[in-house]
Amino acid sequence: MDVWGVSHSRTAGFSSPGPKWYATGPAEGMTMAMAFKKAERKRAKLRLALSGPSGSGKTYSALLVAKGMGGRVAVIDTEQGSASLYSHVAEFDALELSPPYTPERYIEAIHAAVAGGYEVLVIDSMTHEWDGAGGCLELNEKMAHSKFKGNTWAAWNETTPRHRAFVDAILQAPIHVIATMRSKTETVQGEGKKVVKLGMKTVQRDGTDYEFTTVLDLTHDNHYATASKDRTGLFSQPELLGEATGRKLLDWLNSGVEFKAEPKKAEGPATVKGMYDALAKKAGPTNAGDLLSRVQWIDAQLTRLVDDHGIGDTLAAVCEFSRVDSLGEVEAEHVGAAWRKALGCVANCIAEESRK
């Protein structure tokens, strides 16, 4: 999984290395000046969590908020099609996710929503990824008995990265995400074996709420939402969620400063032609086999970089690619040709930008 949440295909005897220029910072020999600058809130995508017991209106509220934000809405439904019962509330497309509720299946569904061009994704619900059939708790138990002699603590060393990848897929998705989570009454045994209610506890991994911009807790009695965490400052009082909630959230999200990546100084070929020639040389064919997946991976990185980080960062990154020795292992003539085509797209973007 790369920094954009793209899953890298693998072929026998080959694994795609991560983009060194992004993952490890400046290339060897390069320096990066440290400097503070005035803090500004950037425009962002919504990360909203709705937590509540069964019957508190999580799905209904999530759909109303999504409708208020506008755009196409996708719903990942793990509740046996319950979201479709509210098709009269908002127009949306549903993907009914059935067991096993592994992190990887959730990630695949999130990527499908992004690829489908949806503006808002409702995950209903996140709880199954943790506590459902095939979810992390069950996965960890099985892992402990099959690999760690029943030691569940040791098993988390393998289960946690899978859960983290799921959370990262939510955070890195370039669309608005509204996630519902079940909650249940948390109790402890007090003096005289008396059961004391401590409040409601979300059925997900501890700390999951920290990942969201806003977390709203819904009550069963009147369906009012109260913020347990709110970085927007919009939910100082309990309220019934509706389309107006979605509109005010969207206004807040769009009120930030537009994100513009600062161009980076790059070493290597100074011109588009020099950059392209150096990279094309690295893509020369060999006789070791077909690595079409490698080309698709590179194409995804470069295309995403142009779209998300601008031409300046693209030039720096592509120049850095020209110094990665493993790119010389890209194999087969048709693979080399496809990769040259991908690089050509980047070169054309840069050339077009330079003419403006």
For 269-302, how does the pLDDT look when each residue is reduced to its tens digit (9 = 90+)?
444 445 445 544 544 444 333 344 444 555 555 5
Q: Grade residue 265 by pLDDT with cuts at 50, 70 and 90.
A: very low
Structural domain includes residue 33: no
Q: Are both 225 and 320 inside the same structural domain?
A: no
Structural domain includes residue 194: yes
Structural domain includes residue 15: no
Query: Which runs of consecutive H residues, i.e. helices, occur in 173-271?
Result: 243-254
Q: Are both 245 and 121 inside the same structural domain?
A: yes
Q: Please, what sign has the CA dihedral across residues 111, 117, 119, 121?
A: negative
Domain boundary among 197, 232, 254: 254
Structural domain includes residue 38: no
Domain boundary among 215, 231, 254: 254
Q: Grade residue 311 by pLDDT with cuts at 50, 70 and 90.
A: low
pLDDT(310) > 90: no
Q: Are both 182 and 56 inside the same structural domain?
A: yes
pLDDT(140) > 70: yes
pLDDT in tens, 77-113: 998 888 999 999 999 999 999 999 999 999 999 999 9
Q: Grade residue 38 by pLDDT with cuts at 50, 70 and 90.
A: confident
pLDDT(118) > 60: yes
pLDDT in tens, 340-356: 555 666 556 555 555 55
Q: Are both 242 and 269 inside the same structural domain?
A: no
Q: Are both 189 and 249 inside the same structural domain?
A: yes
Q: What is the pLDDT of residue 309?
A: 57
Mean predicted confidence (pLDDT) in 14-20: 36
Q: Which residue range forms the structural domain that includes residue 337?
A: 20-26+261-354
Tally of domains in the chain: 2
Q: Are both 81 and 215 inside the same structural domain?
A: yes
- Distance from C-alpha of 175 to C-alpha of 47, rounded to nearest angstrom: 9
Q: Are both 245 and 265 inside the same structural domain?
A: no
Which candidate, 342, 235, 301, places its Cα nearest to that of 1?
301
216 contact partners, CB below 8 Å, separation of at least 6: 48, 49, 50, 51, 225, 226, 227, 228, 230, 235, 241
For residue 99, say if its preceding peptide bond is cis, omega within 30 degrees of 0: no
Mean predicted confidence (pLDDT) in 139-160: 93
Q: Which residues of 123-162 are buried (b: 16+ CB within 10 A; e: fewer)?
A: bbbbbbbbbbebbbbbbbeebbeeebeeeeeebbeebeeb
Angle in degrees, CA 223, 225, 226, rounded to 5: 140
Domain boundary among 234, 254, 274: 254
Give this prediction's pTM. 0.62
Q: Are both 72 and 199 inside the same structural domain?
A: yes
Q: Are both 174 and 290 inside the same structural domain?
A: no
247 contact partners, CB below 8 Å, separation of at least 6: 68, 69
Q: Are both 282 and 245 inside the same structural domain?
A: no
Mean pLDDT for the chain overall: 74
Mean predicted confidence (pLDDT) in 205-234: 90
> What CATH number corresponds to the domain at position 222?
3.40.50.300
Q: Are both 54 and 194 inside the same structural domain?
A: yes
Ramachandran region, residue 185 (left: φ > 0; alpha: ψ -120 to 50; beta: rest):
beta
Structural domain includes residue 127: yes
Higher pLDDT, 70 or 307: 70
Q: Are both 81 and 129 inside the same structural domain?
A: yes
